[in-house]
Amino acid sequence: MARQKTLAAGLYARVSTHDQQTLPMQLHTMREYAERRGWMIAREVRDIGSGATVRPLREEMLKAARRRELDVIIVWRLDRWGRSLVDLIGTLQEINTLGVGFVSLTEALDLTTPGGRALAGMLAVFAEFERDILRDRVKAGIAQARLDGKPHGRPESVQIYAEQVKKLHQVGVSKSEIGKRLSISRTSVRRLLEV
């Protein structure tokens, strides 16, 4: 009978800057879990930060999974991993596509099992539903703004002031004064005069 490969686990612990006392508890719990499952701890990440949109240490964990250095990623709670539902589902889908398992201890989510993978599929459906709702709300907001006569999109270019800028400059008005009168920057005035 062939011996099963020992899975390489990555532990990802994250705390906010004011909540660092839970870091040892998270790591202890994850180490115990990996040991009970017979997994080898290949990588351990301690991420400390508050509300960052970019998490370089989490990205390094994902890169390790992409390089097939990890077979499973363990987190203490889902909110330690995902910044939003869309981010969470997106990264879980990528991890699943890579064939890497994912375990969240607090929620008892284990994507290394068939039931856990089925749950991940359902979460993906909800994430797509949330994206569709947001898209519809944005479209409705734009339509209402147009009905109300409010501008939408990029602001008009300063190019619309080109003729006025040139006329004012010809009569001796300084670039700074032209900018003040037309509510545009002196740099924009200079650029319009160079054209």
The residues that are catalytic are 16
For tokens 């499973």, the residue is: 72
Element (H, E) at 10: strand 8-15
For tokens 């099992």, the residue is: 113
- With a CB cutoff of 8 Å and minimum separation 6, the contacts of 31 are 11, 41
Q: Copy the structure tokens of residue 152.
A: 């939408």
Residue pair 34/27 in contact (Cβ under 8 Å)? The answer is no
Q: Copy the structure tokens of residue 144.
A: 């209402």
102: phi then psi, degrees, rounded to nearest 5: -145, 130
Distance between alpha carbon 55 and the CA centroid of its chain, in Å?
A: 8
**What is the spatial distance between Cα 86 and Cα 173, in angstroms, rounded to a whole number?**
54
